[in-house]
C-alpha cells in the first residue's frame, strides 16, 4: 500500500468514525425525546374475552381508553341449583376508562372506569318426561309436569372497575409493544329470570329457584380483570 493509499484510508476511517458517532448521538437524542406515542391500537385477550382497544394519551399524565370484548362458551348438562341445563355463556362488554400515568416518560398507568356490560348466561333444561323428578325451588316436582325450563342470568349494565397496566416496548420509537392489565370490576347483583312451558302453574317455584341462583351469585360480585395485548402506537 502506497503512502497516498494510507492517507486516503486514514481519512476514510476518521470520516466513518465521525459519521457513526454522530448517528449514535442522534439516535440517543431521539430516544430521549420519545417519551410516549399518543395514540395506541391494541388486540387483546383475557378474562373479559377477546377484543380490541383504542387509547389516547392526550397529556403527560392523563389518557382515555375505550374497547370492545366478546367471547362465547357452551356446556351441556350443567347443574345449576339442582337443575341440569344446556348452558350458553356470552361475554360482551365495552370498557371505558380514564388513565392516570404517574410518570410522564413511562407507560405504567392506573385506570378508573366502567364496563358497559351485556354479559349473560342462558340455560335450557328440556323436560325429562313424566315420572322423573327435579328439585325446583327446594321442592321435588315431576319434570313432565313442569315441561321445558328456560333460564337467563344478566349482570348489571354499568360495572365500575379499577386496574393497573403497562407496556413492554419492542423498539426504540415505542411504536410496538406487549401490554398487560390487572384489575377488578364490581358487577353487582345479577338478575335471574325463569320460565317453563307449563305456564303459570309452577311460577312460585320458578321464582324461588331464580332467587336461589341470585343468592348464590351474591358471592361473585367482583370480577377479575386479567388481560394481555399486542399494541401498535403512533
Q: What is the pLDDT of residues 14-50, one digit of tens each?
A: 444 444 444 434 344 444 557 899 999 999 999 999 9
> Is residue 94's pLDDT more than 50?
yes
DSSP state of 37: -
Half-sphere exposure of 24 (CA within 13 A, CB side): 6
pLDDT band at 96 (very low <50, low <70, confident <90, very high): very high
Highest mean pLDDT, choosing among 52-61, 70-79, 205-214: 52-61
Q: Which residues of 39-48 are buried (b: 16+ CB within 10 A; e: fewer)?
A: ebebebebeb
Q: Residue 148 forms beta bridges with which residues?
A: none
Q: Which fold has domain 38-233?
A: Porin (2.40.160)
Euclidean distance between CA atoms 31 and 13, whole angstroms: 27
Q: Please report the sign of the dihedral spanned by the C-alpha atoms of residue 188, residue 194, residue 200, residue 202.
A: negative
Burial class (CB within 10 angstroms; exposed 0-12, middle 13-18, buried 19+) of 37: buried
pLDDT band at 128 (very low <50, low <70, confident <90, very high): confident
> Is residue 134's pLDDT more than 90?
no
CA nearest neighbour of 165 among 31, 67, 33? 67
Q: Are 190 and 153 spatial neighbours (Cβ–Cβ below 8 Å)?
A: yes
Q: Are 195 and 149 spatial neighbours (Cβ–Cβ below 8 Å)?
A: yes
Count of C-beta atoms within a 10 Å radius of residue 38: 12
**pLDDT in the model for residue 10:** 45
Euclidean distance between CA atoms 115 and 160, whole angstroms: 6
Q: Which three cell numbers stand for residue 86?
A: 344446556
Q: Where are the domains of the chain?
A: 1-33, 38-233
Amino acid at each position: 500500500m502506497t503512502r497516498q493509499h494510507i492517507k486516503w484510508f486514514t481519512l476514510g476511517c476518521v470520516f466513518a468514525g465521525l459519521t457513526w458517532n454522530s448517528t449514535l448521538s442522534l439516535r440517543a437524542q431521539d430516544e430521549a425525546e420519545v417519551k410516549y406515542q399518543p395514540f395506541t391500537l391494541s388486540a387483546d385477550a383475557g378474562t373479559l374475552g377477546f377484543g380490541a382497544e383504542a387509547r389516547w394519551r392526550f397529556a403527560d399524565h392523563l389518557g382515555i381508553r375505550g374497547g370492545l370484548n366478546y367471547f362465547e362458551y357452551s356446556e351441556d348438562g350443567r347443574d345449576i341449583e339442582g337443575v341440569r341445563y344446556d348452558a350458553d355463556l356470552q361475554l360482551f362488554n365495552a370498557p371505558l376508562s380514564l388513565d392516570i400515568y404517574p410518570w410522564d416518560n413511562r407507560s405504567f398507568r392506573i385506570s378508573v372506569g366502567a364496563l358497559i356490560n351485556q354479559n349473560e348466561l342462558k340455560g335450557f333444561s328440556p323436560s325429562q318426561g313424566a315420572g322423573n323428578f327435579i328439585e325446583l325451588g327446594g321442592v321435588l316436582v315431576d319434570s313432565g309436569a313442569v315441561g321445558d325450563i328456560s333460564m337467563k342470568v344478566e349482570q348489571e349494565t354499568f360495572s365500575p372497575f379499577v386496574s393497573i397496566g403497562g407496556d413492554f416496548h419492542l423498539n426504540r420509537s415505542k411504536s410496538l409493544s406487549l401490554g398487560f392489565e390487572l384489575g377488578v370490576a364490581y358487577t353487582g347483583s345479577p338478575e335471574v329470570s325463569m320460565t317453563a312451558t307449563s305456564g303459570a302453574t309452577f311460577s312460585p317455584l320458578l321464582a324461588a329457584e331464580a332467587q336461589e341462583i341470585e343468592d348464590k351469585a351474591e358471592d361473585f360480585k367482583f370480577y377479575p380483570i386479567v388481560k394481555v395485548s399486542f399494541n401498535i402506537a403512533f
